[in-house]
Amino acid sequence: MTSPHASDAAPFGRVLTAMVTPFTNDGAVDLDAVQRLATHLVDHGSDGIVVSGTTGESPTTSSEEDGRTLAAVIEAVGDRASVVAGVGTNDTSHSVELAQQARKLGAHGLLVVTPYYNKPPQSGVIAHMNEVVRAGDGTPSMVYDIPGRTGIQIAEPSYLELTKNPLIVAVKDAVGDFERGAWMLRETDLRIYSGDDALTLPWLSIGASGVVGVTTHVAGEAYSDMVQAVEAGDLAAAQAINARLVPVVRAIMGQTQGAIAAKAAMHLLGIIPNAGVRLPLTEATDEQVANIRAALVEFGLIS
C-alpha cells in the first residue's frame, strides 16, 4: 500500500506522531479512542502516524493488540496519512512476525529499532534489520537509532551496508550528532527524521526530512508550520515557532517518560478518556500534570 505522503524527499511525510495507545479503564486497548486520537492528530498537523512505537508502549502490548491497533489506525486515517508500524524488538523472529502482520494489514512503512539489551555486534544489527525488512515484503522501512534506550549505536559503516537494501529508506535519529547526520545525508540515500523533539529545527537546518515526535500530539500544526518555514527559507519564522514550542517540549519531554506525559496532555485536552498506562510505567504526578496544563495554557490550547 502506497503512502499518501510518500516522496523522495520525505518518504513517510514531514510530521509524524509516535502515537500513544489509549487504554480503557480496565487496561485494555481502547480501539474507539485509538481512532479518535489518530483522526485528531491528522486533523491537527500530522501527516504520518507511528503505531506501536516506544510511545505506544509496545514493550507491554501483545502482537495481537499491535495488529488490532494498526488496523484501526489504517481504517481511520490511512487514506490521509502515512501509517508506520513499529515492529522492532530485541528478538528477530518476533520482529519478523510483526513485520509480516504489518504488511498484511496494509501499513505504509515499518519502524525498526536497533535491538535493545542484547547489545549485538554491528554484524548482528545489520542482519537483524535486513531480516525484518525482508519480512515486510516490499514495505519501505525506517531504522531507529536511539542508543540511550538500546545501549548501542548504529555505526557509520553499518549505515553504508544498510543503505544497500533499497527498502531501508530513512533513519529516525535520536543520537543528535549533526556532523554525523551531515555525513549520512552526503554519503547515503537515507532520509533523516528527528527522533528528538527539541532538536527538530537543527535537524531540518541540515536537510532532515521531518520529525517523528511526541510533542506533536499537541503541537502538530506548529511543527508543520516550522517545516514549511524552513522549506521556504524563512529561518526567522522557523526560529520563532521553535521558541514558542520550548515550554511544551519541556513539559512533555522533560519531566517523565514521553508516553506518560503525552497521555496526560491528551486527557487534559479531552481527546482520550483517561491517561492510564501499563506497568512498569506509572501515570503522571499531580505536579507533572499541572506543569503540562500550564504549558498547554501558554500555548493557547486550553484556558
Summarize pLDDT for 117-150 with one digit per residue, the tens: 999 999 999 999 999 999 999 999 999 999 999 9
Tell me if 214 sits within 8 A of 252, measured CB to CB. yes
Q: Which residue has the cell 496519512?
A: 81
Is 117 considered catalytic here?
Answer: no
**pLDDT score of 2:** 79
Active-site option among 116, 159, 172, 223? 172
Q: pTM for the full model? A: 0.97
Say if CB 129 and CB 118 are below 8 A apart: no
Task: Return the CA Rg of the chain.
Answer: 18
C-alpha cell at 202: 537543527
Asked whether the beta carbons of 56 and 50 are under 8 A apart, the reply is yes
Phi, psi for residue 24 in degrees, rounded to 5: -75, 175
| In the predicted structure, residue 1 carries a pLDDT above the cut 80 | no
Q: What is the mean pLDDT of residues 25-52?
A: 98
> What integer best gives the mean pLDDT of the chain?
97
Catalytic residue among 116, 144, 159, 223: 144
pLDDT, tens digit (0-9, with 9 covering 90-100), for 51-89: 999 999 999 999 999 999 999 999 999 999 999 999 999
List C-alpha distances in Å: 8 to 73, 188, 189, 191: 24, 13, 10, 9
Q: Does 263 qualify as catalytic in the annotation?
A: no
Residue found under cell 525506517 = 142
Q: How confident is the model at residue 224 (pLDDT cuts 50, 70, 90)?
A: very high
What's the pLDDT band for 257 if we cut at 50, 70, 90? very high
- Nearest to 200, CA basis, from 209, 191, 187: 209
Q: Is the pLDDT assigned to residue 187 strictly greater than 80?
A: yes
Look at the domain 15-234 and name its fold.
TIM Barrel (3.20.20)
